[in-house]
């Protein structure tokens, strides 16, 4: 039973160039989540693409090479990682820094030194919001599929009605029956052209 529960734990990628910060974050999160660790931006981008894709990234801002803002921009421009929420971790507390962080695509912003309780709460809340967002997207796709199926059913019903009218009309008047069949074919071709995106 423990293995089943463990396999469904969320995966969090920790990115920080300071080993002590990574040790602290790992200690805070490892009992609740699966944890991956990167100590620079380039490594973070590689680990972010590794399956299973992380559910959340905790990202330091001030790092040598690629800083956190650059890493976040790269994540958001990659179709594989664009939807991963990012929480920035930094000692920079100026308002402009937070604005830059949110403009880069961050979901949240945490200041160092970190409070373990606050880290857990923020992480939990972001993951809950992400689950809700995914659930809404799946529901919308299901609705779109149902609408498409219902539309096809209506088209088939329309064809059947026109065919039945044609057969009935043929029994009374052959010319009227042929006209209805031509009308049915016209409707079918026009519908196919519409679905295919033609304007002719």
Express each pLDDT in 36-88 by its tens digit: 999 999 999 999 999 999 999 999 999 999 999 999 999 999 999 999 999 99
Q: Which of 142, 139, 69 is nearest to 102 (CA)?
A: 69
Confidence band of 170 (pLDDT split at 50, 70, 90): low
200 falls within a domain = no
Q: Which of 176, 180, 198 is nearest to 189 (CA)?
A: 198
Instruction: Say which residue, 111 or 182, is predicted with more confidence.
Output: 111
What CATH code is carried by the domain that includes residue 80? 3.40.50.2300
Q: Mark whether 118 and 167 lie in a shared domain.
A: no
Q: Mark whether 124 and 187 lie in a shared domain.
A: no
115: left (phi over 0), alpha (psi -120 to 50) or beta: beta
Q: Which domain holds residue 168?
A: 141-195
Q: Mark whether 28 and 67 lie in a shared domain.
A: yes
Q: Mark whether 125 and 169 lie in a shared domain.
A: no
Q: Mark whether 129 and 167 lie in a shared domain.
A: no
51 falls within a domain = yes
Residue 102: pLDDT over 80: yes
Q: Mark whether 119 and 154 lie in a shared domain.
A: no
Q: Mark whether 33 and 108 lie in a shared domain.
A: yes
> How is residue 64 written in tokens?
């040598």
Instruction: Say which residue, 70 or 148, is predicted with more confidence.
Output: 70
- Cβ atoms of 127 and 138 within 8 Å: the answer is no
Say how many domains are in the chain: 2
- Cβ atoms of 65 and 41 within 8 Å: the answer is yes
Task: Give the model's pLDDT for residue 119.
Answer: 93
Q: Mark whether 80 and 168 lie in a shared domain.
A: no
Mean pLDDT taken over the chain: 82
Q: Mark whether 98 and 170 lie in a shared domain.
A: no
Of 110, 133, 156, which one is at a domain's C-terminal end? 133
Q: What is the pLDDT averaged over residues 118-132?
A: 92
Q: Mark whether 94 and 55 lie in a shared domain.
A: yes
Q: Mark whether 58 and 106 lie in a shared domain.
A: yes
Q: What is the pLDDT averaged over residues 110-135?
A: 90
Task: Give the model's pLDDT for residue 168.
Answer: 66
Up-side HSE of residue 114: CA atoms within 13 Å toward CB?
Answer: 27
Examine residue 177 and say whether the peptide bond preceding it is cis (omega within 30 degrees of 0). Answer: no
């Amino acid at each position: 039973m423990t293995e089943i529960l463990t396999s469904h734990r969320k995966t969090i990628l920790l990115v920080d160039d300071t080993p002590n910060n990574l040790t602290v974050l790992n200690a805070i999160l490892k009992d609740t989540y699966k944890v991956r660790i990167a100590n620079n931006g380039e490594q973070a981008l590689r680990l972010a693409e590794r399956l299973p894709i992380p559910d959340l990234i905790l990202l330091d801002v001030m790092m040598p090479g690629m800083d956190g803002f650059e890493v976040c921009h790269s994540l958001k421009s990659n179709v594989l990682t664009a939807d991963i929420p990012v929480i920035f971790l930094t000692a920079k507390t100026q308002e402009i820094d937070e604005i830059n962080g949110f403009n880069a695509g961050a979901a949240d912003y945490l200041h160092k030194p970190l409070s373990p309780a606050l880290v857990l709460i923020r992480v939990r809340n972001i993951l809950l919001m992400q689950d809700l967002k995914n659930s809404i997207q799946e529901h919308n796709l299901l609705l779109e599929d149902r609408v498409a199926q219902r539309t096809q059913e209506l088209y088939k019903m329309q064809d059947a009605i026109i065919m039945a009218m044609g057969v009935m009309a043929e029994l009374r008047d052959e010319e009227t029956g042929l006209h209805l069949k031509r009308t049915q074919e016209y409707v079918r071709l026009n519908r196919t052209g519409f679905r295919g995106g033609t304007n002719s």
